[in-house]
Structure 1
Amino acid sequence: MTEALVTVAVPSYNQGKYLDTALSSIFSQNLPVEVFVADGGSTDNSVEIIKSWEGRLAGWRSAVDDGQAAAINECINKGSAPFVCWINSDDYFLESGLVRLVNELLTNESAPAAYGRAWNFREKDSKRVPVWVEEFSEKRLAVRCIISQPATLIRRQSWDAVGGLDVSRHMAMDYDLWWKLYRVGGPLRFLDEFVAVNRDHGETKTNTRRVAHYAEAMEVVRKYHGKLPLKWWLIQPYAVWFKTLLNKLESRK
């Protein structure tokens, strides 16, 4: 049996309608992977979907847990591959997307992680628009999260060095992780290619808890950057308010 190159964590809760696509996108990468699914005790068809993939999974469970960050840490800690990542059950990799990220870290041995571009698939109008992703710099990272989580791969050594995800974070856990990786390992490596798709639908935490997400993101910037750029006080609050209002209006239709 070929030794796994990537440990992939798949946290999920009542996402059965998306889960099969997520798992299929992982196993179609033509890479030796070990995949762990952490289901939070779903009441939909998630367990049925998981069992259909059971023969290819390194492990899975379905039970109430301590949240998304804890579930991801749990999965990655069970694995041993030199590279790690997680893909939420409503997101998925593009063809060869994970392969490109692996190659990027293999050829840039000093980088703690690599990230590419991602599409944002809006379910309300079935349109794909690019997620805002940029070349890494601390100045830009302090202004906004310039890294798309589904399009990211992390060196296990770096993951272990920062202790994985902060389980006290429930909204901006990925933003917090990028800062930690940068502080211990230097700039994250940017791959200017599309490698993954992020689904934008009404049930995501970003849409349903936008204000809480914004507040936690501000805490992250203060912690690692020492101060908040003016943008957090002037432009972003109005954008958050406007998008929250739009989501409420959409939910009433």
Structure 2
Amino acid sequence: MCEPLITVAVPSYNQGRFLDEALASIFRENVPVEVFVVDGGSTDGSVEVIRNWEVRLKGWRSRRDEGQAAAINEAIAMGRAPFVCWLNSDDWFVPGGLERLLAEIQSRPDVPAVYGRAWNVVEESGKRSPVWVERFSERRLAMRCIISQPATLIRRSAWEAIGGVDARLHMAMDYDFWWRLYKSFGALGFVDSYVAVNREHRETKTRRNRRKHYAEAMEVVARYYGRVPLKWWLYQPYSVWFKSLFG
């Protein structure tokens, strides 16, 4: 049996209706992986889904925890593979997506992580649209998060060097992580190919807590960029108010 090349953390809480698709998308990839499901004590049948995959999982648990970021760090720490990522239980990889990310990062020893393009799918309507993803630029990263989290792959050495995601954050922990990764190791590599899907539904944190998500993201920008670009102030009313009513 091949040694795993990628540690995949799958944080989940009451997302049983999505979890099976997320896990299936990981295991259909032609890549040796070790997968850890960290469930926050779900009561919706998630454990039954996990048990159906138990023979292929490296490990799992279901109990109350300290939140998504802490659970991700916990799962990554249990693994030993040289590359790491996390896939939220309501997202999934497109066929061959993880393989493309692995090939790119293996060919780019100069980058701490790589990321590709992703689709956004609205559960209620089935509408599919591209997530806003761009080639890496500090200026553009300060304007918005140009990296789609499910479409990323990170070197374990870089992950461990900066201590993983900040467990104190609950909304913009990925945005904060990309900034810290960039500040410590330089620009992330870009894969101009669709590799993952972000599922949007009524229970997502960003949809339920737009104001908190926006405030946390703006704090991240100010911390690492030194100021908050005007775009954030201009766009905030639309993002927080209009989308809350009609999004």
Root mean square deviation, CA, Å: 0.7
What's the counterpart of residue 21 of structure 1? 21
1:251 is matched with none
Corresponding position: 1:244 with 2:247: no
Kept in 1, the 8 Å contact 2:97–2:195? The answer is: yes
Which residue does 1:39 correspond to in 2? 39
Calculate percent identity across the aligned residue pairs: 66
Structure 2: which amino acid aligns with 1:9? Answer: A
Instruction: Kindly report structure 1 stretches of 4+ aligned residues shifted beyond 6 Å.
Output: none
* Whole-angstrom distance in 2 between the partners of 1:91 and 1:169: 20
Structure 2-normalised TM-score? 0.99
Q: Does 1:219 align with 2:228?
A: no
| C-alpha distance in structure 2 between counterparts of 1:238 and 1:102, whole Å | 37
- Structure 2, unaligned runs of 5 or more: none
Distance 1:91 1:168 in 2: 23
Partner of 2:90: 90
Shift of residue 241, structure 1, vs aligned partner? 1.3
Q: Which residue of 2 aligns with 1:250?
A: none
Please say which of residues 122-131 and 170-179 is displaced more in the overlay.
122-131
Residues 141-194 of structure 1 deviation map (CA, whole Å, 9 limit, x = unaligned):
000000000000001011011100000000000000000100111000010100
Which amino acid in structure 1 is aligned with residue 57 of structure 2?
Answer: L
In 2, the alpha carbon distance for the partners of 1:228 and 1:65 equals 33
CA apart distance, 1:123? 1.2
What's 2:154 paired with?
A: 154
Equivalent residue for 1:49? 49
How many residue pairs align between the two structures?
247
Deviations 1:195-252 (A, max 9, x none): 00000111100100000000000000011001010111122333321101225xxxxx
Displacement of 1:2 after TM fit?
1.1
After TM superposition, list the pairs within 5 Å mapping 1:101-180 onto structure 2.
Answer: 101-180=101-180
- 2:177 matches 1:208: no
Aligned counterpart, 1:191: 191
Corresponding residue SS for 1:119: strand
Gaps of 5+ in 1: 248-253
- Normalising by the residue count of structure 1, what TM-score does the alignment of the two structures yield? 0.96
Determine the C-alpha separation between the residues in 2 that align with 1:13 and 1:230. 36
